[in-house]
C-alpha cells in the first residue's frame, strides 16, 4: 500500500482485518494524508478549514465516540445591510424557525423551493438522485426554483467552502450527494483535530506494518522501489494524492486543481452565542469564516476564540482582515493573527459528467484509490479505499467471500 491517507488506510485496515499481510509505505512522517493538523501556540490548527460530516456513509467505519466530536449548528449566519440573520435547521432548533423564515433570502416561494430541494436530496434514494438529469449545480438549483437572493447570499458561499469553487460549475449530482450528507448528518471536529481520523485508522494496523518517511520512487506489477530498496508484493495499491498517483501510474487520469487559503486568528472571546458558519458577502474574497473553538472547545488551549476564515484565491492576511472582522461584527484590531495556510491541490474538481466509482483495478496486480476515483471528499477517499480492498481480495483469494461494503 503506497500512501497512508484516508483512502490507503481504509484499504489497508480492511485487508489486514481479512488476514492479508499488508505494508503501508508513507512518504511523510504522519498518517492521514491531506487530512492533517498541527499545533500553533497551543491551538489546534487543521490544514485548511476541514470538518467531518457524520452523514457520510463511510462514517460507519470509524469509532465516532472515540473522536470526541464537537459540532457546528446546522445552518449558517449571514449579514445583509449590516444586520445578522441566522438560517438554521428548524428540526434541530425549532426556536430558530421564525428567524429562518424572515431571513432575506428571497420570497417565501423561493425559500420553500430550497427546502423542497433539501428534502429531495436528503431523502430520495441515491439511485434516483444519480438518475436525475445532470447539469451544473447552479443550473439545477435555478431549475428547482431557487432564486437569486437565496443563491447569492446563502447557497453560493456555502457550497464554495465545500467544493472550493464559486461558479457552482460542480456536477449537480455531486451537490445532491453533498446536500444529502448535510441533511442526514452533522458537521463536527475531533477533539484532537482532523488528523485524529487518520490516526484512528492507522492505529488498527500493527505498528510494524506502517512505514513512515518511506518515499516510493517507482511501482510495477508486483514491485515497489524506494530509496532503501525494492519490495515485492502480490498486489500494489497506489493510494496517494493525484499528482503522485499520475507520476507513479502514467496511465491514470487524476488531478486536484482546487486550492484554498485559510487564515487563523485569535479573539479574547467569541462574538457568537452558538457555533455557526458565517458566510462571506457576495463579491467578497472570504467564502466563509467560523469560530471553530465554539464547535470544538479543545481547539483552544486557554478559552480564547479560534477563528478560521477561508478564501479560494491566495490571499495575504492583511488583504482580508477587515472583511473577516466585518463578518463577525468586531474591529479589525481585535483579531490577533495566528497563522495562514495555503493548500494547493486541496481536492479534485467534480465537474459534470460526474465519474463515480472510477476503476481501481488497473490489471497486472496494480490498483489505485483516492478521492479522485470517487467524490472529492473524505467520503470519496474512504469509499475508494474500500473498493480497492475488495478488488485486491478478489484477486488474491478468488474463492473467498468478498469484504463487506
Domains 6-35+194-256+352-396 and 38-52+258-347 belong to one CATH topology: no
Domain covering 6-35+194-256+352-396 in this structure, CATH number: 3.50.50.60
Q: Is the pLDDT of residue 136 over 70?
A: yes
Mean pLDDT (the chain, rounded): 95
Write out pLDDT tens, residues 224-246.
Answer: 999 999 999 999 999 999 999 99
Q: What is the pTM of this model?
A: 0.95
Any idea where the domains of the chain sit in the sequence? 6-35+194-256+352-396, 38-52+258-347, 105-185
Q: Please list, in sequence order, all residues whose beta carbon lies within 8 angstroms of the beta carbon of residue 272, skipping any fewer than 6 positions away.
A: 77, 278, 291, 294, 328
What is the model's pLDDT at position 303? Answer: 97
Write out pLDDT tens, residues 252-279.
Answer: 999 999 999 999 999 999 999 999 999 9
What is the model's pLDDT at position 385? Answer: 98
What is the model's pLDDT at position 225? Answer: 98
Q: Please list, in sequence order, all residues whose beta carbon lies within 8 angstroms of the beta carbon of residue 181, skipping any fewer than 6 positions away.
A: 53, 55, 56, 379
Integer Cα distance of 179 and 375 in angstroms: 13
Q: Is the pLDDT of residue 401 over 70?
A: no
Instruction: Find where cell 497551543 sits.
Output: 42
Residue of 65, 17, 385 whose CA lies nearest to 206: 17
Q: 38-52+258-347 falls under which CATH superfamily?
A: Protoporphyrinogen oxidase, mitochondrial; domain 2 (3.90.660.20)
Q: Is the dihedral of CA 312, 69, 387, 168 positive or negative?
A: negative
C-alpha cell belonging to residue 394:
478478489
Q: Is the pLDDT of residue 293 over 80?
A: yes
- Confidence band of 403 (pLDDT split at 50, 70, 90): low
Amino acid at each position: 500500500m503506497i500512501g497512508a491517507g484516508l483512502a490507503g488506510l481504509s484499504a489497508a485496515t480492511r485487508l489486514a482485518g481479512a488476514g492479508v499481510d499488508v505494508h503501508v509505505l508513507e512518504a511523510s512522517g504522519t498518517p492521514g494524508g491531506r487530512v492533517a493538523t498541527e499545533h500553533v501556540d497551543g491551538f489546534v490548527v487543521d490544514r485548511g478549514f476541514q470538518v467531518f460530516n457524520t452523514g457520510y456513509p463511510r462514517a460507519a467505519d470509524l469509532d465516532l465516540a472515540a473522536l470526541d466530536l464537537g459540532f457546528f449548528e446546522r445552518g449558517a449566519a449571514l449579514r445583509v445591510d449590516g444586520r445578522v440573520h441566522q438560517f438554521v435547521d428548524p428540526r434541530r432548533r425549532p426556536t430558530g424557525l421564525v428567524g429562518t423564515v424572515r431571513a432575506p433570502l428571497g420570497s417565501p416561494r423561493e425559500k420553500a423551493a430550497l427546502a423542497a430541494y433539501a428534502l429531495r436530496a436528503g431523502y430520495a434514494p441515491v439511485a434516483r438522485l444519480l438518475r436525475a438529469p445532470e447539469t451544473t449545480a447552479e443550473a439545477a438549483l435555478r431549475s428547482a426554483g431557487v432564486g437569486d437572493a437565496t443563491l447569492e447570499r446563502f447557497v453560493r458561499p456555502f457550497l464554495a467552502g465545500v467544493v472550493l469553487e464559486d461558479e457552482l460549475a460542480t456536477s449537480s449530482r455531486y451537490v445532491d450527494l453533498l446536500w444529502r450528507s448535510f441533511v442526514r448528518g452533522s458537521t463536527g471536529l475531533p477533539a484532537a483535530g482532523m488528523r485524529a481520523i487518520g490516526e484512528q485508522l492507522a492505529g488498527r494496523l500493527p505498528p510494524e506494518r506502517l512505514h513512515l518517511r518511506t518515499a516510493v520512487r517507482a511501482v510495477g506489477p508486483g514491485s515497489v522501489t524506494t530509496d532503501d530498496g525494492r519490495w515485492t508484493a502480490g498486489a500494489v495499491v497506489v493510494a496517494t494524492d493525484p499528482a503522485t498517483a499520475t507520476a507513479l501510474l502514467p496511465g491514470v487520469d487524476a488531478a486536484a486543481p482546487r486550492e484554498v487559503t485559510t487564515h487563523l486568528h485569535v479573539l479574547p472571546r467569541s462574538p457568537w452565542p452558538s457555533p455557526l458558519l458565517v458566510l462571506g458577502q457576495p463579491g467578497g474574497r472570504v467564502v466563509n469564516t467560523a469560530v471553530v473553538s465554539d464547535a470544538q472547545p479543545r481547539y483552544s488551549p486557554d478559552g480564547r476564540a479560534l477563528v478560521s476564515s477561508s478564501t479560494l484565491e491566495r490571499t495575504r492576511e492583511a488583504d482580508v482582515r477587515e472583511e473577516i472582522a466585518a463578518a463577525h461584527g468586531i474591529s479589525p484590531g481585535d483579531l490577533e493573527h495566528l497563522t495562514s495556510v495555503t493548500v494547493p491541490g486541496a481536492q479534485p474538481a467534480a465537474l459534470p459528467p460526474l465519474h463515480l466509482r472510477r476503476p481501481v483495478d488497473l490489471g497486472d496486480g496494480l490498483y489505485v484509490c483516492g478521492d479522485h476515483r470517487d467524490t472529492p471528499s473524505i467520503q470519496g477517499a474512504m469509499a475508494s479505499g474500500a473498493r480497492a480492498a475488495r478488488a485486491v481480495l478478489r484477486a488474491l483469494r478468488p474463492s473467498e467471500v468478498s469484504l463487506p461494503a
